[in-house]
A and B are shown apart, each in its own frame.
Chain A
């Protein structure tokens, strides 16, 4: 089966602290990978996508960055978190004809 693992599932971080959210994918090679964010009460916003190792495209200017050090690993990072970075972060991968999502990581910046 093709599975998406995200961790941590829940995270509470102080303002100004760093962030690292990890996503790994099983059962597929060279997938397109995506990071989405959902702020409280709002829709899903595409943040980054990657078509291969080291290839990152940013969809919106922001305080976050992404990296893809390995084919099946996608990392979302920040050097200094802002309150506005709070939200539900979802990793996704391209399937044959659609996109599949992980279970998400809840980030609360306090």
Chain B
């Protein structure tokens, strides 16, 4: 699975959009970009994933560059409850054998009042 690079930490004002970047320059053609978040002392929570096109769900939007070497997770109206560590992961969605996720260090997002 390709490696990702994320900033260690970011701040965001409550009510504003939080834009979390991720670089994955070695991504393969069959690898998806996944985003998870982990609130302190809880298990990671799936947010969104995509292959080429931008994706949106009730939690967030995912913008993937045309060359697929980077992406941005957008939380449109951040709340204090969005304070968490956000992980960007690339993997094959339907792996032929394991489908395992390899986590990096993630970005600690601090939403401030």
Contacts and interface: CB of A to CB of B under 8 A. Distances in A.
Interface of A: 32, 34, 36, 43-46, 49, 51, 57, 59, 88, 90, 92, 94, 97-104, 106
B46 A100 contact: yes
A46 B105 CA distance: 13
28 contacts: A32-B98, A32-B99, A32-B100, A34-B101, A43-B103, A43-B104, A43-B106, A44-B44, A44-B87, A44-B103, A46-B100, A46-B101, A46-B103, A49-B98, A90-B43, A90-B44, A92-B43, A92-B101, A94-B99, A97-B32, A97-B94, A99-B99, A99-B100, A99-B101, A100-B46, A103-B42, A104-B43, A106-B41
A51 B97 contact: yes
Interface residues of B, number: 23
A4 to B, nearest CB: 8
Interface string B53-90: 00000000000000000000000000000000001000
Interface of B: 32, 34, 38, 41-46, 49, 87, 93-94, 97-106
Overall SS of chain A's interface: strand
Contact of B98 (A36, A44, A51): A51
Contact of A102 (B32, B43, B106): B43
Nearest to B93: A97
Contacts of B87: 44
A23 B32 CA distance: 27
Contacts of A43: 103-106
A25 B101 CA distance: 18
Residue from the set B46, B97, B101 with the largest chain A CB neighbour count within 10 Å: B101
